[in-house]
Amino acid sequence: MRPSILRRLFRRVASTAALALVAATLSTVAAARPAVAAGGLEQVTGFGTNPGNLQMYEYAPAGLPANAPLVIALHGCTQTADAYYTNSGWPKYADLWGFAVVFPQTTSANNALSCFGWFDPAEDTRGKGEAASIVQMVEYAKQQYGSDARRVYVTGLSAGGGMTADLLAAYPDVFAGGSVASGLPAQCATSQSAASGCQTGPQKLTPAQWGDKVRGSYPGYSGPWPRVAIWQGTSDYTVYPANATALRDQWTDVWGIGQTPSSTDTLPGNTTRSVYNDATGKPAVATYSVSGMGHGLAVSPGSGTDQCGSTAAYFLNTICSTYHTGVFWGLDQGTPGGGDQLPAPSGLRVTAVTANSASLSWNAVPGAASYTVHRNGTKVASPTATTYTDTGLTAGTAYQYTVTAIDGSGTPGTASPQVTATTTGGAPAQCFTATNYAHVTAGRAHTTGGYTYANGSNENMGLYNVFVTHTLRESPAGYFVIADSACAT
């Protein structure tokens, strides 16, 4: 979805045929399901009148029981359903947790770059175009698999993320939850010419104004609303991080819960999770900000329960967003938001440091069979005890640690709050004075939601631009603090 290319996109003429009743369609149209890819992905034809001219692919584990959940997974621009099936990790959790996945696909016949039409009212509104085709796929799959109508979810990357937000707004009666990865708020753009502006910086609307775009997508609907996960890389310059802030504002307003998080914690892959609970204390909205990640879907190849996917174009090796999204929705057979997980270990603390080691301890978690220790977002150990000494470190360097409890089935719980251990020795402190933009470019700071934060200390430096200047003090290496008034070295 590069802005320079998006302006050159052409749209097909939308079908004027009205969306037929799905039940009638399914009773009169025969479906063919030839296998099209290794590993179980199959194409479905004849799923409905298909006003959006989309293709339907699906995956379901053998022996799937009735009343299982259903997930709809939307690819990004230039991608295909098969690429999303291969790299996103959704088939792994379909097998592990027991649910079916539908992978809609658009083509260059609809859009020059095979982007879903998240910016076109003829495609992304209730009862029209591609949105209507996707809902027909939902209805077909529900009948085919006996899926639980109360547990249908939609997720998507980039243009697929923009369409995901539009579907959640237009069909809150269909989808129980959604996950928008590097995507756009619902109805951010209503024309192709406005799409690029949304990508680089959506309108500066209040939460209520963003929420009105959702409420106006299905007038008269009053809930229940979908539970929404929002994934965003802080170094995404295709769909800027301000879109994640707008999405948060939009869906917290719809839920009526305000924009102050109920909790914030650190996950692997330099990921910060902020959770916004509903009136009953269950997570309704969650944001996942991946520090330093560009434009793409966060994956983490490996065999661990919380690892998934494979790296490819726009599939970036940081954290398994699919796992955490599934837990947020309760697909792991927990409550929405993962309420049945083991809690975060409390009392994580640094007990000793040397020039090349850091020792940690934490309080035991009842029911934990072991723990995982992450250093700077990467797993480094799986102790069964509540202490660990990390060795082979660099002198005079700051390291961030979190610990997660693992239950007897191998399922990880919630990560602990992060602690910092600074090894002894190393080079003397250095000071750098520059604009916020220059600090980010030099790797001394990062951006989230349009603001700049010092690496290491995570201190807020203000807006991300060339008009704000700060002095940062680095000590130890890679750990920066604001030192505008004085910078002793």
Q: Which residues are catalytic?
A: 158
Cα 358 to Cα 254: distance, rounded to the nearest angstrom: 45
Instruction: Indicate the residue type of 135.
Output: V
Scanning 75-158, the segments in alpha helix (DSSP H) are 81-87, 90-97, 121-124, 129-145
Q: What are phi and psi of 452, to 5 degrees?
A: -110, 140
199 to 7, 44, 78, 158, 415: CA distances (angstroms): 12, 33, 17, 10, 31
- Closest among 343, 116, 324, 325 to 226, alpha carbons compared: 325
Contacts of 303 (CB under 8 A, 6+ apart): none
Please list the residues that pair with 454 across neighbouring strands.
445
Cα 430 to Cα 436: distance, rounded to the nearest angstrom: 17
Task: Give Cα 481 distance to the centre of its chain.
Answer: 29
Q: Which two tokens stand for residue 80?
A: 């295909």
Given the DSSP bridges, would you call strands 398-406 and 370-375 parallel, antiparallel or unpaired? antiparallel
Cα 485 to Cα 468: distance, rounded to the nearest angstrom: 15
Q: What is the b/e burial string over 195-226, where b = at least 16 CB atoms within 10 angstroms of the residue's CB?
A: bbebbeebeebebeebbbbbbebeeebeeebb
Instruction: Indicate the residue type of 365.
Output: V
* Residue 479, number of CB atoms within 10 A of its CB: 21
